[in-house]
Amino acid sequence: MDDEKEIDRWFSLRNNNSPSELAESRLFVISCFAAGFVGIVTIIYTAFQWRRNINLSWMKAIARSKTNPKARHKVPMAPHSWEQESGSRGKNLNCCVCLKSASPSQTLGSAVASDICRCSICGAVTHSECSSSAQKDCKCVSMFGNDNVMHQWTVRWTEITDLPDETSFCSSCEEPCSGSFLGGSPIWCCLWCQRLVHVDCHTNMSNETGDICDLGPFRRLILSPLFVRELNRSPAGAFLSSITHGANEIASSVRATIRSQSKKYKQGTETSADSRNSGTADTSMESTAESNPAVNGSYQMDENCNGEFSTAVSHNDAAGDNKTESTAILKRSGSINQKDDSLRMKQRYELVDLPPDARPLLVFINKKSGARRGDSIKQQMNILLNPVQVFELSSAQGPEVGLYLFRKVPHFRVLVCGGDGTVGWVLNAIDKQNFVSPPPVAILPAGTGNDLARVLSWGGGMGALEKQGGLFTFLHQIEHAAVTILDRWKVSIVSNQGKPLLQPKFMNNYLGIGCDAKVALDIHNLREENPEFFYSQFMNKVLYAREGAKSIMDRTFADFPWQVRVEVDGFDIEVPEPI
């Protein structure tokens, strides 16, 4: 009873309060909430500025340590490779020269973004006006002549989110390198092995290990800079090379003409001798066609120890066909030599004296595939691997340039970053190289459908790859992947008389004709004309569906099954109507 009286008394007192007192109490509560909110925002902003100042002081300390003669590296200087940075990727960036913010403001838009440059190799960022003053501390892709690979310590300008936890500790003191609000020692990162070290610990580590780098967890995939030699392509050297090549072509043509004339004379002499000696056979084997027997009118290619190719044509006819033979040899060998010379002139580096157990990874990237994420993939590959082993595919440069660079490597692997079309492009180039042991090919599914990548268990797209651990984990999977055989066909198109109409082509064990091929061609043409439409894998599939529906509605291939005849091993195969 007493408790009930107390409660009634409390409610009566509360109801007796005046409206002004209630308004004051509400205002007091609101003021407390506002003051608390402002205090929390102030604390967060202060912490953010504190952390930013610490990061800036770290960068300044690293910049001072780089200018200190006692802390200079033992690695040759390498200039940065600057490219204009887009506004979408230019977020939370600091200039590596003036250390000021290089992030474009959203109010100014792309006008400011065009004044920002990023190194395509190490990921460093600078203002356009500061790029000429940047230090030459980029990744040195060639250390030819050195005994060991040396660490290249620098600031980690580009974060790699999928690095393992053990790489976040100092390689010397094994303390965390994540930093804190209390400051601490600045951090260096090796451009080759991705290990971290405190700047204060670097001297002790250098004295203990000699700053020798073992290339980290991807040492078997990385093309070691010890075996990469830079080629000096001076204008005078190129001019002399062209003169030498021209002289060799003239000399070879003169020798072939003389040889052809001598063969004509010799065959004429032998014919008259045979008529006088009642058909005595001549046992001499002077002709190139006789030394390399082949079917009439067919070409035979032989590879010598230097990787050069020679062609031979065999004919049963005499004098008139010998001219055809020498002409064919000159044209064929000349075209091959010209192709090799053009590839040789494009090379800036060559690979020398690789150890027998080396298994470097040759990377091909097609920027136009899928959602057009080739720029970010190439940037990460250049950071994790040697930029010399990373090639970008385009209409001006195919896979032949990279394969020519690796032609002397006995065992290497290939990674194709793109869709099914890009994979087929690279496989065709490998088939044309006539490798004794073709390199195994891995696929980074960056295309739209990625059917071949799905079949070979590489995933259906970049989204699935990121869920599995990202690019760092993917490279580990390549190193431990099993080799499987892919069914590839060599297709020769000949006339009814057996004459070849086109150069032999290579294909996988599936073929699309009719409506399927038309949709693929229309999408290819649309991608070339309007690449901005292909910005995501989902949107690409929508465009495929639209083009497919359009082809079905206009009934262009309604009578296609009755217009095609398929013959396999001499037997006609009936083409089903749904196909």
Q: What is the 3-state secondary structure (H, E, C) of 315-363?
A: CCCCHHHHHHHHHHHHHHHHHHHHHHHHHHHHCCEEECCCCCCCCCEEE
Do residues 391 and 451 both lie within one domain? Answer: yes
Question: What CA–CA distance (Å, rounded) separates 400 from 343?
Answer: 8
Is residue 315 in some structural domain? yes
Tell me what pLDDT residue 202 has: 84
Question: What CA–CA distance (Å, rounded) separates 267 from 502?
Answer: 34
Tell me what pLDDT residue 307 has: 34
Tell me what pLDDT residue 326 has: 32
How much of the chain exceeds pLDDT 70, in percent? 64
Tell me what pLDDT residue 59 has: 58
- Of 339 and 483, the one with more pLDDT: 483
CATH number at residue 369: 3.40.50.10330
**R_g of the chain, CA atoms, integer Å:** 35
Tell me what pLDDT residue 293 has: 32
Angle subtended at Cα 283 by Cα 281 and Cα 286, rounded to the nearest 5 degrees:
125
What is each CA distance from 174 to 168, 209, 217, in whole angstroms? 9, 15, 18
Do residues 379 and 301 both lie within one domain? Answer: no
- Of 129 and 548, the one with more pLDDT: 129
Tell me what pLDDT residue 427 has: 92
Q: Does the pLDDT value for residue 3 go beyond 70?
A: no
Here the tokens at position 361 are 């990874």
Give the three-class secondary structure for 396: coil
Do residues 371 and 471 both lie within one domain? Answer: yes
Give the three-class secondary structure for 266: helix
Do residues 361 and 462 both lie within one domain? Answer: yes
Do residues 342 and 371 both lie within one domain? Answer: no
Domain boundary among 489, 520, 547: 489
Do residues 405 and 523 both lie within one domain? Answer: no
Is residue 466 in some structural domain? yes
Packed helices 374-384 and 470-479: angle between N→C axes, nearest 10 degrees: 60
Task: pLDDT band for 161, please (50, 70, 90 cuts).
Answer: low
Q: What is the mean pLDDT of the chain?
A: 72
Q: Does the pLDDT value for residue 450 go beyond 60?
A: yes
Is residue 537 in some structural domain? yes
Is residue 17 in some structural domain? no
Q: Enumerate residues 6+ apart whose C-beta is below 8 A from 560.
A: 514, 515
Tell me the longest C-alpha to C-alpha distance in the chain: 151
Range with lowest mean pLDDT among 104-108, 189-193, 469-473, 479-483: 104-108
Do residues 306 and 378 both lie within one domain? Answer: no
Mean pLDDT over residues 550-577, rounded?
A: 76
Is residue 408 in some structural domain? yes
Taking only the tens place, the pLDDT of each residue in 243-300 is 544 555 555 455 545 545 554 444 444 434 344 343 333 333 333 333 333 333 332 3
Question: What CA–CA distance (Å, rounded) separates 93 from 102?
Answer: 5
Torsion of CA 283, 288, 293, 296, to 10 degrees: -110
Q: What is the 3-state secondary structure (H, E, C) of 162-184?
A: CCCHHHHEECCCCCECCCECCEC
Domain boundary among 302, 328, 346: 346
What is each CA distance from 168 to 111, 156, 374, 525, in whole angstroms? 37, 12, 27, 46
Tell me what pLDDT residue 15 has: 54
Do residues 255 and 328 both lie within one domain? Answer: yes
Range with lowest mean pLDDT among 136-140, 274-278, 325-329: 325-329
Mean pLDDT over residues 115-137, rounded?
A: 87
Do residues 385 and 477 both lie within one domain? Answer: yes
Task: pLDDT band for 327, please (50, 70, 90 cuts).
Answer: very low
- Range picked from 45-54, 148-157, 287-296, 359-368 for highest mean pLDDT: 359-368
Question: Residue 495: exposed, middle, or buried by beta-carbon count in 10 A (0-12, 13-18, 19+)?
Answer: exposed
Do residues 406 and 429 both lie within one domain? Answer: yes
Taking alpha carbons only, the member of 123, 111, 82 closest to residue 376 is 123
Do residues 373 and 320 both lie within one domain? Answer: no
The number of folded domains in the chain is 3
Range with lowest mean pLDDT among 149-163, 204-218, 244-258, 264-278: 264-278
Q: Does the pLDDT value for residue 27 go beyond 90?
A: no
Is residue 458 in some structural domain? yes
Range with lowest mean pLDDT among 70-84, 139-153, 429-443, 455-469: 70-84
Mean pLDDT over residues 172-194, rounded?
A: 74
Query: For residue 237, how many other CB atoms are within 10 A of its CB?
Result: 11
What is each CA distance from 472 to 214, 324, 359, 423, 500, in whole angstroms? 17, 56, 18, 21, 47
Is residue 116 in some structural domain? no
Here the tokens at position 421 are 């079309």
Question: What CA–CA distance (Å, rounded) separates 525 from 544?
Answer: 12
Question: What CA–CA distance (Å, rounded) separates 333 from 357?
Answer: 34
Is residue 530 in some structural domain? yes
Q: Which domain holds residue 239?
A: 235-266+292-346
Q: Does the pLDDT value for residue 445 go beyond 50?
A: yes
Do residues 379 and 478 both lie within one domain? Answer: yes
Q: Does the pLDDT value for residue 394 go beyond 60?
A: yes
